[in-house]
Amino acid sequence: MSKTYYDPADLRKFGNITEWNEELGNKFFEYYGKVFEEGALTAREKSLIALAVAHTEQCPYCIDAYTKDGLQKGVTKEEMMEAIHVGAAIKSGATLVHGVQMMNKVNKLDG
């Protein structure tokens, strides 16, 4: 039994989730593959979005996967870091915008 919650080698086993529910697993991977195809956005742009979301979701598997994917697509480290800042800005903005709710409540309760 693994002594840590995350094992990098588990990422290679991602496809195994279909073993316990083939229909839903296959539907998911089909959808996933379709999402990342070149569309209105380039595959490169999608990779950068995925990298930013991987960080906001704090998913170590996704961070490994989309860092490598970005390198494969010629994405530079400067572009990767900027993408992560976009994710971080939204994440912190999402926290801070709730400050308005706090202010509203204070104003209501305490004048």
Q: Say if CB 62 and CB 50 are below 8 A apart.
A: yes
Which residue number, 36 or 91, has a Cβ lying nearer to another protein? 36
Token pair in block for residue 13: 């086993």
Token pair listed for 74: 């010629």
Binding mask 31-70 for another protein (x = CB under 8 A): -------x---xxx-----------------------x--
Q: Is 16 in the site for another protein (CB under 8 A)?
A: no
User: How far is residue 91's CA from residue 18's CA, in Å, rounded to a whole number?
Assistant: 32
Cα(73)–Cα(98) distance, rounded to whole angstroms? 37
Residue written as token pair 């919650």: 5
Here's the x/- map for another protein, 65-104, by CB under 8 A: it reads as ---x--xxxx-xx---------------------------
Question: Which residues of this chain interact with another protein, rule CB under 8 A?
Answer: 12, 38, 42-44, 68, 71-74, 76-77
